[in-house]
């Protein structure tokens, strides 16, 4: 299959994948050849008669697997953003093969012997700091992957990894199918009372696309809460919408979650850890289960108390409508009423000021220019992975080309929920590659000819994901292993959270928040009221997040051999035991659709968001009070942290910016927990 576009490096600018040439039938042959080529490259490393050196072992490892990387980054993006039945079938076939391939490398005794010998002589090798770190990380990676296990234990480890890979793929596909199937179909616009005209028109267009001509469809987002709950006036419709969300995938994915948690616990035991959580956190910045548990336990009590205070305010508003007790499907609706009455803020009234194109160019891109001097030029001549996705070339302040940014912003039935960043080409001095990064969101597609208006939370998400993009674009490392966002899970969210601060910086907000029809700026006093209203909602947001985090933690601290009979019962007990069971505040994700921990890389690591927010809140305070200009602060943050990737200890990079170890005070103040 010599015409397969993956079989050769891309000749496009920045080695942008040749999406116009790629077909579904190209993926599987490219995967098979890519794995075979890398194993041959590994065999060449171990077959050499020469003693191990940094160049003939570690650098050779870093260079290996180029074809496999090319196909994998494209396929992972494609199956997440625009999947088909055929791609899902490839995913199901490839996932266990990739797990076996990973094991074939990391359980190769001859290869580990070479790395171990170099590691034992590391003080004699005269390596520069990044090269020494590369040796240390490869050595640690092999140990954590089971390189020291005996033959029988390694054989069982291979079985566990293959089954977990297959189950994770099935879990993801089940979530996608359940989310599509649970979309709420409504017969009349009257049932959507409370939504603005644009949202109602969007629901009608969504119905047409999904084959429900003449009706209205509210498709589900990936989280438990659905944005329409804040506006829908019909309580029964709110109840149906939330029930559809919370009930997704229970029958199919509950048993899978039980099985995956048990397999992960067994694997952790094989690798010398008392639980999967202990295994995961040992290689994160947190370091220990006790450190994570300590932070979470300190937050639960104040967060629940804050949420109960908010509930009392909501109950007063609900009582005016004859509702005696606030239910989960009422919370967002009456929160919006309280915001309107107490803070004179109407979330729906903000949407006309947040038009996607303007938010992107005059907000997100403008902030990047303000802090880092970047310029963006759209490149319609370059083809992305989907017709809706757009390609931008990114330039330094002096005109030097930096990389490519791809934005895929709109929801579609073939895209999984949520928002994320990918690196299609990772920066590396060793390979000479420059970055190609991608942001994917799920902003509802407007009706034909209408502007894409965004909610306050969607604007925040756009700034957040672009923070990940900057982390990839600014990478300045030699070795691919350390590039961009290849950092611990409990650190990777930190730079993206910092980038959210530009959303409300006065000079940035004034530049993008303008009414899409009149051009009038968003009134400053409305921003102040919205910020105050955000403080009111912190109880709910913190509790729903902590509930999901503690649910993840509960699944992954189950000891090996302990049986779980029913996923829903386990979930209820875990939340009650953690003191976070608030009936009117469901977890941000329930077990059956918790893709982060059962189909992604966040198992026992969903705590990463709050752990990273400690660093984020501290850094935002530094940005605002260090006495330097925005541009000077931006350059320091870029040079000392964003550019470093994982080429040095991430907390060392934090200290290089802020000048000290992180402190929790700014986070507690932000979350209203002091």
Instruction: Report the phi/psi class of residue 516: left, alpha or beta, with left for phi > 0 and alpha for psi in -120 to 50.
Output: alpha
The DSSP code for 406 is E
| DSSP per position, 372-394 | H--EEEE-TTS--SSTT-EEEEE
Alpha-carbon distance of 426 to 22, in angstroms, equals: 20
C-alpha span between 159 and 250 (Å, rounded)? 26
CA 158 vs CA 149, 194, 302, 565: distances in Å: 11, 54, 44, 26
Q: Say if CB 442 and CB 393 are below 8 A apart.
A: no
Helix (H) or strand (E) holding 215: none
Within 13 A of 553's CA, how many CA atoms are on the CB side?
26
Q: What angle do CA 257, 259, 260 make, to 5 degrees?
A: 65
Nearest-angstrom CA–CA distance, 14 and 6 = 15
Active-site residue identified among 465, 500, 534, 613: 465
3-state SS class at 662: coil
Q: What are phi and psi of 317, to 5 degrees?
A: -70, -40
237 to each of 217, 240, 325, 327, 444, how far by Cα in Å?
A: 12, 5, 17, 13, 20
Is 465 designated active site?
yes
Instruction: Identify the bridge partners of residue 672 per DSSP, sorted by sequence position.
Output: none
- Report the distance separating Cα 419 and Cα 134, nearest Å: 30
**Rounded-to-integer distance, Cα 210 and Cα 217, Å:** 8
Catalytic residues, which ones?
465
């Amino acid at each position: 299959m010599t015409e397969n576009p993956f079989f050769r490096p891309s000749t496009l600018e920045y080695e942008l994948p040749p999406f116009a040439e790629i077909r579904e039938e190209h993926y599987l042959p490219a995967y098979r050849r890519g794995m075979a080529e890398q194993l041959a490259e590994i065999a060449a490393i171990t077959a050499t008669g020469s003693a191990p050196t940094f160049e003939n072992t570690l650098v050779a490892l870093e260079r290996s697997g180029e074809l496999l990387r090319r196909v994998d980054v494209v396929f992972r993006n494609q199956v997440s953003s625009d999947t088909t039945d055929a791609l899902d079938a490839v995913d199901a076939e490839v996932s266990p093969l990739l797990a076996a391939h990973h094991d074939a490398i990391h359980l190769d005794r001859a290869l580990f012997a070479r790395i171990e010998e170099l590691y034992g002589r590391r003080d004699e090798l005269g390596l520069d700091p990044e090269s020494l770190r590369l040796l240390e990380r490869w050595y640690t990676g092999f140990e954590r992957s089971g390189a020291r296990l005996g033959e029988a234990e390694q054989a069982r480890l291979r079985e566990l990894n293959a089954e977990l890979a297959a189950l994770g793929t099935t879990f993801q596909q089940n979530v996608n199918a359940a989310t599509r199937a649970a979309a709420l179909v409504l017969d009349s616009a009257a049932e959507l009372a409370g939504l603005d005209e644009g949202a109602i028109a969007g629901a009608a267009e969504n119905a047409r696309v999904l084959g429900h001509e003449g009706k209205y469809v509210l498709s589900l987002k990936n989280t438990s809460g659905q944005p329409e709950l804040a506006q829908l006036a019909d309580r029964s419709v709110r109840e149906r919408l939330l029930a559809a969300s919370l009930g997704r995938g229970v029958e199919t994915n509950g048993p899978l979650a039980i099985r995956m948690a048990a397999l992960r616990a067994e694997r952790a035991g094989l690798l010398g850890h008392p639980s999967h959580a202990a295994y995961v956190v040992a290689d994160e910045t947190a370091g220990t289960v006790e450190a994570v548990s300590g932070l979470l336990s300190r937050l639960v009590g104040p967060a629940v108390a804050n949420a109960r205070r908010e509930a009392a305010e909501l109950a007063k508003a609900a009582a005016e409508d004859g509702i005696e007790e606030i239910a989960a499907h009422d919370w967002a609706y009456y929160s919006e009423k309280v915001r309107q009455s107490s803070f004179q803020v109407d979330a729906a009234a903000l949407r006309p000021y947040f038009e996607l194109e303007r938010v992107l160019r005059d907000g997100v891109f403008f902030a990047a220019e303000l802090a880092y001097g970047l310029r963006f030029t759209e490149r319609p001549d370059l083809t992305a992975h989907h017709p809706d996705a757009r390609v931008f070339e990114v330039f330094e302040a002096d005109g030097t080309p930096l990389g490519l940014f791809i934005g895929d912003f709109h929801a579609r039935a073939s895209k999984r929920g949520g928002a994320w960043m990918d690196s299609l080409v990772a920066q590396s001095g060793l390979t000479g590659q420059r970055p190609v990064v991608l942001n994917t969101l799920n902003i509802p597609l407007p009706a034909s000819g209408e502007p894409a208006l965004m909610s306050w939370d969607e604007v925040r998400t756009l700034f957040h994901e672009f923070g990940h993009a900057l982390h990839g674009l600014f990478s300045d490392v030699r070795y691919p292993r350390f590039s961009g966002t290849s950092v611990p899970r409990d650190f990777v969210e930190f730079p993206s959270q910092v980038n959210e601060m530009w959303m409300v910086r006065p000079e940035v907000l004034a530049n993008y928040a303008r009414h899409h029809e009149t051009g009038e700026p968003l009134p400053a006093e409305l921003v102040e009221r919205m910020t105050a209203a955000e403080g009111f909602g912190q109880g709910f947001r913190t509790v729903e997040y902590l509930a999901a985090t503690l649910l993840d933690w509960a699944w992954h601290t189950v000891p090996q051999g302990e049986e779980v009979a029913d996923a829903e019962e386990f979930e209820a007990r875990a939340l009650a035991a953690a003191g976070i069971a608030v009936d009117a505040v469901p977890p941000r994700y329930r077990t059956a659709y918790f893709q982060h921990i059962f189909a992604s890389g966040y198992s026992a690591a969903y705590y990463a968001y709050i752990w990273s927010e400690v660093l984020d809140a501290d850094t935002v305070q530094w940005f605002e009070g260090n006495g330097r200009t925005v541009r000077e602060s931006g350059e320091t943050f870029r040079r000392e942290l964003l550019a470093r990737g994982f080429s040095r200890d991430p907390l060392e990079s934090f200290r290089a910016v802020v000048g000290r170890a992180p402190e929790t005070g700014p986070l507690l103040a932000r979350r209203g927990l002091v």
